[in-house]
């Protein structure tokens, strides 16, 4: 089964509202990353949080990490129509090989 | 995407034929990856490379092989295409082992096996 699982699978909100997506994982990690994918395109790296960090900000993005619960959340504040995309978490496993493991993604729709 | 290109972008092929997808990078990154993306499965790793001629299997490697004879090119071959290999294939590159600076993805190849 997947190392990372996002919740919810789909989220629809009004423009200007905040969007929160969650990611849970199973095994210890070095870092956790979030990616965005617009329809028909490749994934784009958004933000990385290390296992010894609890919170990180980048523009309108806020990521938290709780290693005791093996979970992370991505908050997008003041959402815009251009934020409509799928969002994926990816984990760099502590005991893993040289690769990231991706979750199944959250489909975010921002309604004007 | 800048620095990484995939070819072809779209391909339709018949069951049983061999198919080769190409990933080309201009970033001189050491690590290269092939993922497939299917509804309900997210991205799953097929094969990856950690240097020229150094490759390893991912979680869904059956039916696929790879080659990396030079830093900039990573080829994915479907030895005998099956309908279950209909998917969108993404190549990614990274400068470091854990993707600390993030992976850079190509635009994908949509493969249909009929």
Report pLDDT digits (tens) over A98-111.
Answer: 678 899 999 999 99
Domain range list for chain B: 4-107
Domain count, chain A: 1
Is the pLDDT confidence value at B92 over 80?
yes
The reported pLDDT for the residue numbered A94 is: 72
Nearest-CA distance from A107 to chain B in Å?
11
The reported pLDDT for the residue numbered B101 is: 80
The reported pLDDT for the residue numbered B19 is: 97
The values of phi and psi at residue B8, to 5°, are -75, 175
Q: Cα dihedral sign for B38, B43, B47, B52?
A: positive
Mean pLDDT of A64-80: 97
The reported pLDDT for the residue numbered A108 is: 97
Closest in B1, B41, B98 to A42, CB measured: B1
The range of the structural domain enclosing residue A18 comes to 4-111
Closest B-chain CA to A104: B42
Q: Where are the beta strands (DSSP E) in chain B?
A: 4-7, 10-13, 19-25, 31-38, 42-51, 54-57, 64-70, 73-78, 87-94, 104-105, 109-113
The reported pLDDT for the residue numbered A1 is: 43
CA angle B85, B89, B94 (to 5 degrees): 140
Q: Is B63 helix (H, G, I), strand (E, B) or coil?
A: coil
The reported pLDDT for the residue numbered A86 is: 96
Report pLDDT digits (tens) over A14-66.
Answer: 999 999 999 999 988 889 999 999 998 999 999 999 999 999 999 999 999 99
Closest in A42, A102, A104 to B108, CB measured: A42
Average pLDDT value for chain A: 92
Contact A105 B33 (CB under 8 A): no
Which of A73, A111, A4, A88 lies closest to A38, judged by CA? A88
SS3 content of chain A, % helix, strand, coil (to 5): 5, 60, 40
pLDDT band at B78 (very low <50, low <70, confident <90, very high): very high
CA B42 – CA B76 distance, rounded (Å): 19
B4-107: which CATH number, 2.60.120.200, 3.60.20.10, 2.60.40.10, 3.90.180.10? 2.60.40.10
CB A53 within 8 A of CB A67: no
Express as a percent the part of chain A with pLDDT over 70.
94
User: What is the biggest distance separating any 2 CA atoms in chain B, rounded to whole angstroms?
Assistant: 39
Give chain A's radius of gyration (CA, Å).
Answer: 13
Which of B24, B35, B32 lies closest to B94, judged by CA? B32
The reported pLDDT for the residue numbered B40 is: 79
**Cβ–Cβ contact A98 with B under 8 A:** yes
In CATH, what number is assigned to the domain containing residue A107?
A: 2.60.40.10
pLDDT band at B42 (very low <50, low <70, confident <90, very high): confident
Mean pLDDT of A3-24: 92
């Amino acid at each position: 089964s997947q190392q990372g699982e996002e919740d919810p699978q789909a989220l629809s909100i009004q423009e200007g509202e905040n969007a929160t997506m969650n990611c849970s994982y199973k095994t210890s990690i070095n870092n956790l990353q979030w990616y965005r994918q617009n329809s028909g395109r490749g994934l784009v790296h958004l933000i990385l949080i290390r296992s010894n960090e609890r919170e990180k900000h980048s523009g309108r993005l806020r990521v938290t990490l709780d290693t005791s619960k093996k979970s992370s959340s991505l908050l997008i504040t003041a959402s815009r129509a251009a934020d409509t995309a799928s969002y994926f978490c990816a984990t760099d496993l502590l005991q893993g090989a040289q690769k990231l493991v991706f979750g199944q993604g959250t489909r975010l729709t921002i309604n004007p | 995407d800048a620095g990484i290109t995939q070819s072809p972008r779209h391909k339709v092929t018949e069951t049983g034929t061999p198919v080769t997808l190409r990933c080309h990078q201009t970033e001189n990154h050491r690590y290269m990856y092939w993922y497939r993306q299917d509804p309900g499965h997210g991205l799953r790793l097929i094969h990856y490379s950690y240097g020229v001629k150094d490759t390893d299997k991912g979680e869904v490697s059956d039916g696929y092989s790879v080659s990396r004879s030079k830093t900039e090119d990573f080829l994915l071959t479907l030895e005998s295409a099956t309908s279950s290999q209909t998917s969108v294939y993404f190549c990614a590159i990274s400068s470091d082992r854990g993707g600390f600076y993030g992976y850079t993805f190509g635009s994908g190849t949509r493969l249909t096996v009929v």
